[in-house]
A and B are shown apart, each in its own frame.
Chain A
């Protein structure tokens, strides 16, 4: 089965840039989607199809995908961006989530 690996945690200073990576075998050949989950809440889609932002998601959120790594970038990080972030792909008619990354804004 396909596996997605994320760093356990990422810390970023207020106003700086956070990069969250999602590793998978030849993930660049797949569409990667990203979700933000705050404590006690359902996940929220922040990026779909590698680079696309749903309506209502700030431009500070961006994505890229190449080779064996997909990246979610949060620019000008705010306290409100503190959350768990999950990548997700579709593989062999199965949804696959990454292990999740906790983002802390210092």
Chain B
């Protein structure tokens, strides 16, 4: 059973960079896309972006200028950096595995981490 676990600081100061890592266990990180998704308190889900094990990325256009993702296959980990954060970036951040729909250009998220709350405050 694939398991994902987010880790990183729970408190980040405004204008600084949010950094999170997702560790994958119970399966290989190879040959999949891996996504970051966030959810402000009481609000809906927002897809941030994803990375393939080759390093190829897709980002949400609304966040693209501030997002960087990386992958370390030797550690079965992938990471998120979000720069110049503000209070609006306060949210629970989830990592998830992308699963491709056979025969279609569509993906869904079949495994999720438990989520980690990141608060942006001075």
Residues on A facing B (Cβ under 8 Å):
1, 30-31, 33, 35, 37, 41-45, 48-49, 54, 86, 88-90, 93-100
Residues in chain A near residue B62, CB distance under 8 A: 1
Task: Give CA–CA (A53, B95) in the complex, Å.
Answer: 22
Residues on B facing A (Cβ under 8 Å):
35, 37, 44-47, 50, 58, 60-62, 94, 99, 101, 104-110, 112-115
Residues in chain A near residue B35, CB distance under 8 A: 95
The answer to whether B61 and A49 have CB atoms under 8 Å apart is no
Task: Give CA–CA (A49, B110) in the complex, Å.
Answer: 12
Task: Give CA–CA (A54, B101) in the complex, Å.
Answer: 13
Residues in chain B near residue A37, CB distance under 8 A: 45
In addition to A41-B114, A48-B101, 17 A-B residue pairs with Cβ atoms within 8 Å of each other are A33-B106, A33-B109, A43-B45, A43-B112, A44-B112, A45-B109, A45-B110, A48-B99, A49-B101, A49-B104, A49-B108, A90-B106, A94-B58, A94-B60, A95-B47, A97-B45, A97-B47
